[in-house]
Structure 1
Amino acid sequence: MPPTASDSPAAATDTAGDAAALYLVWHDPEAAPARPLDLHGDGHPLADGLWLIRSPLSRSKLYHRIKWQLPGDAALACAPLADDPDGWPKFKGMAAGALAWLRGGSAG
Structure 2
Amino acid sequence: MEAGTGESEAEDAGEADADAGDADAVPLYWLWHDPAAAPEGALDLHGDAHPFGPGMWLVRSPLTRSKLYHRIKWQLPEGTPLACAPLGDDPAGWPKFKGMEAGALGWLRGG
Does structure 2 retain, via aligned residues, the 8 Å contact 1:23–1:52?
Answer: yes
Aligned residues: 105
- The residue aligned with 1:16 is 20
Query: Percent identity among equivalent residues?
Result: 65
The question of 1:103 aligning with 2:99 is answered no
Query: What is the CA–CA distance in structure 1 between the aligned matches of 2:38 and 2:90, rounded to whole Å?
Result: 29
Does structure 2 retain, via aligned residues, the 8 Å contact 1:3–1:42?
Answer: no
3-state SS of paired residue (1:94)? coil
- The residue aligned with 1:37 is 43
Unaligned runs of 5+ in 2: none
CA apart distance, 1:10: 2.5
Q: Show CA shifts across 1:7-63 (max 9, x none).
A: 331332142322310000000001100101000000000111000000000000000
CA apart distance, 1:3: 1.9
Does structure 2 retain, via aligned residues, the 8 Å contact 1:32–1:70?
Answer: yes
Match 1:79 to one of 76, 85, 88: 85
Match 2:96 to one of 55, 73, 90: 90
CA apart distance, 1:2: 4.7
Query: What is the CA–CA distance in structure 1 between the aligned matches of 2:96 and 2:31, rounded to whole Å?
Result: 15
Does structure 2 retain, via aligned residues, the 8 Å contact 1:2–1:44?
Answer: no
Match 1:28 to one of 17, 29, 34: 34
- The residue aligned with 1:60 is 66
Scaled by the length of structure 2, the TM-score of the pair is: 0.88
Query: What is the CA–CA distance in structure 2 between the aligned matches of 1:47 and 1:65, rounded to whole Å?
Result: 20
State the Cα RMSD in Å: 1.5
